[in-house]
Structure 1
């Protein structure tokens, strides 16, 4: 490829962050080329009919509350490019072994009534938490999804924090999910919703900040739902690709990148695995995990020694073990309300969630795992024939747990968990696909060791510490190279923020460069006549 024909930017990886970055750059008039190693775009946003030809199952992610709320994705207006959101009748359910059930509805009064049925007064307590969210949400989401520190949204957010309770609210945001549930509720429903949502990341019930993460997901579900793309997760990817190509961008799949080419401290392009050089006139954006970029695509000789030392401390989130099903009929829950929810959390109580977390921390394969279950036909009726259900379940495993020998064991244990809350469930299974951590990484190289979030969500690797201390902004030590993956702030989840932040940083650097060149070329100011 000649320099003249070179794109302005090369984006490594066609996951959601890479495609968002490419769209933002294309909107600014840049010529963009996205290079994807896999045969299909989408990263962890893909669907197929691999379980049963009549059923659509999502390979990785499924429900997208952050996408529905994200100013980044909403600004792309993907509905114009074929994306349609679909909602289950209820957002989230947490059944109890005795048949009672806490349910999050998009109608706040129905959510409150569900919690009141488990403990009178908990509905009012929930509405108080919701009122705090409503006062903070606009600037809180803006601060979370923009580069750290959040200069634009930070000052308004501080003002809102003061008016919403100041130090008391800040204290609430630091609480572990278990403690937040104990302080706000008297019954089991509210704590289970908060704590179960906190564990969607690799946060334990006793982890500081897990309460804030759980509160975030519950409140997003209340105000935006946890929607799914009608027709499968891949329809979100299709819309991003369609939008990009309409603006002149290009996506090349089956083209793994082997190296970022660095000259004189600047990224000038990439070299593919088959040796093809692909120059980039202005920037290279990498939608890959930080450990794959630093010391991988970019050699340590082009990076500061301090970064190499910091990357040794980089921590992955816990591996994921997932089972997809094609079911002959809806799951026969003992708690009928669970059948109305797109997502169902499975654990006997908060103590059960803590015991599972302790197993992860001590390297023990959970004998009775807690789990997250998705009812995809309930959320999107087109996913399978009428009267059936496409579904999945996942849990987390200890780090370093080998796949050999655990597939059969963990599949049996997860299906036993579902059977406990829905006797007769096993009789509905007509198709099954098991995805152990190694399978997830084989299908998507970014899901290293089955980690879904590009690194732990614990506080020591968030905000100014993500992916390493002092590297929260998308710029890297190599000029013209930007980290655009979930390893960058604000982390995992399908919201597009790392990609958009990286693209905006590249655009800003290009503007500054043009300004400097303009000043350098400006003729000297004529001297005053003598």
Structure 2
């Protein structure tokens, strides 16, 4: 190809995975160019003042427990490039009817003491047992989750800590549905501790009866106790800014407003890309794609350059759920009925396990819930720089069907067109869920923004219909099934082309592991390449 520009590595997409990959390659001495279609970098890690000029809101991700736990991000030393973290007094709250509230706090004893006070000693002791298991497996469990599959070295380190019988019990635990965990370990599925874990599991598209919902819920809750769920001071965009500054300090570049139209493939090898303006960019060593798998296979790369079997596999690729989000500027804190809720950065809103199950099954079957499960963030509580003293910057999101067959809400107005009328109707339903646990809170709203599934996708093309995780987190599309059977890592059928997005193992979350795995695979491929003759 004739190139208008060139680099050792061209990275398509300036989300956190793309930027982590770019930094790792730049550290290895590669000349790195990141091309981003949006006018600003960050992908799903951005913030703005679009709701109210005095309030900072995160457009997508807000709390980042996986970022602080991720070895890939920790190794970058982003504090040297301006990143600072801030914590709410409590990590996570799940208020329940009657004024009780289950709260995750930093430190097992702080969490267990609160559970004992509100829900009894048996549930508190069960929580301590789950935390002790985490402590026994730390740090190898997280490391094993984030490495390419199979994680041989970390897997051996985990095995060394367990007797054979214990390993079998751990394997069973990791496959449990979270409802069953509540029945086995706590005083029932509606116990506060079980609700904390179930709400965490529903951050992914896993219902309480699905394996491995326990492991997702346990992972997020234990990360909260160990690291908190911190927020970048000043907005999620501060994390992106630190990644970009670090990359530029090492000679890398990010070019925004530059859409990549195709990856150039010759004789099964990626040679570079062509932008939507027709400009070729040569990649001397590798192309890394921080884009969703369906956008890469049959999109940026022609089916003519891919194995026929992959086309069939991609027809079976399953997206995760669509997302509906609302941002608010409030002139005062939310008046929660359960006072402990006010201390938490993140709040989960559902009256019990059955309500969580109903929500999940309804969404999976194409029906819009009348009582959606709501995840809410109190950002000024977590980071006082987000809005003036005495006010609160708040967001909430919930999952909705990708294709709507029926609306179970009063009036049945939501069809999936997501026009202004439908957006307003469903936003009112989200606000009503908050009202159940905080009567009168809407009187404090001074600004509001609604982000429907199509709007979220327009702001970040990887979030197809607002899908947050690059594909379902269900077991049939995890590990060596992600994004298609037989992968489990960043490799693709095209030489020197690597999948660096959340569609690759280990999937969604701001941990940078997908990008780090892709960067390391590119470096290994260069080391193993035979010299030309």
Q: TM-score, normalised by structure 1?
A: 0.96
Range 143-152 or range 220-229, more displaced: 143-152
Say if 2:408 is the partner of 1:407: no
Q: Is the 8 A contact 1:7 1:280 kept in 2?
A: yes
The alignment partner of 1:471 has SS state of coil
What are the residue-to-residue correspondences of 1:99-498 with 2, within 5 Å?
99-117=99-117, 118-162=119-163, 165-186=166-187, 188-401=191-404, 402=416, 403-404=418-419, 405-498=421-514
Number of residue-to-residue matches in the alignment: 517
The alignment partner of 1:423 has SS state of coil
Q: Is the 8 A contact 2:5 2:280 kept in 1?
A: no
What are the residue-to-residue correspondences of 1:494-513 with 2, within 5 Å?
494-513=510-529
Q: Is the 8 A contact 1:52 1:431 kept in 2?
A: yes
1:453 CA displacement:
0.4
Q: Which residue of 2 aligns with 1:528?
A: none
1:4 CA displacement:
10
Q: Which residue of 1 aligns with 2:87?
A: 87
Q: Is the 8 A contact 2:502 2:508 kept in 1?
A: yes
The alignment partner of 1:431 has SS state of strand
The alignment partner of 2:166 has SS state of coil
1:281 CA displacement:
0.4
The alignment partner of 1:348 has SS state of coil
The alignment partner of 1:14 has SS state of coil
Map Cα deviations across residues 220-267 of structure 1 (whole Å, 9 max, x no partner): 001000000000000000000000000000000000000000011100
1:3 CA displacement:
5.9
Q: Is the 8 A contact 2:2 2:280 kept in 1?
A: no
The whole-number CA distance in structure 1 between the counterparts of 2:2 and 2:469 is 37
Q: Is the 8 A contact 1:3 1:281 kept in 2?
A: no
What are the residue-to-residue correspondences of 1:71-82 with 2, within 5 Å?
71-82=71-82
The whole-number CA distance in structure 2 between the counterparts of 1:103 and 1:447 is 30
The whole-number CA distance in structure 2 between the counterparts of 1:462 and 1:507 is 24
Q: Is the 8 A contact 1:135 1:164 kept in 2?
A: no
The whole-number CA distance in structure 1 between the counterparts of 2:430 and 2:64 is 23
The whole-number CA distance in structure 2 between the counterparts of 1:442 and 1:286 is 19
Q: Is the 8 A contact 1:132 1:164 kept in 2?
A: no
Q: TM-score, normalised by structure 2?
A: 0.95
The whole-number CA distance in structure 1 between the counterparts of 2:432 and 2:490 is 44
The whole-number CA distance in structure 1 between the counterparts of 2:249 and 2:470 is 30
The whole-number CA distance in structure 2 between the counterparts of 1:63 and 1:114 is 22
The whole-number CA distance in structure 1 between the counterparts of 2:146 and 2:210 is 22
The whole-number CA distance in structure 1 between the counterparts of 2:24 and 2:181 is 38
Map Cα deviations across residues 143-199 of structure 1 (whole Å, 9 max, x no partner): 111111112212112222437822112111100011112211116111101100000
Q: Which residue of 2 aligns with 1:24?
A: 24
What are the residue-to-residue correspondences of 1:65-76 with 2, within 5 Å?
65-76=65-76
Q: Which has the larger radius of gyration?
A: 1
The whole-number CA distance in structure 2 between the counterparts of 1:137 and 1:360 is 35
The whole-number CA distance in structure 2 between the counterparts of 1:4 and 1:43 is 26
Map Cα deviations across residues 78-106 of structure 1 (whole Å, 9 max, x no partner): 00000000000000000012111001110
Structure 2, unpaired ranges of 5+: 405-415
The alignment partner of 2:484 has SS state of coil
The whole-number CA distance in structure 1 between the counterparts of 2:158 and 2:12 is 34
Q: Is the 8 A contact 1:161 1:169 kept in 2?
A: no
The whole-number CA distance in structure 1 between the counterparts of 2:55 and 2:135 is 38
Map Cα deviations across residues 109-129 of structure 1 (whole Å, 9 max, x no partner): 121011112122211111110
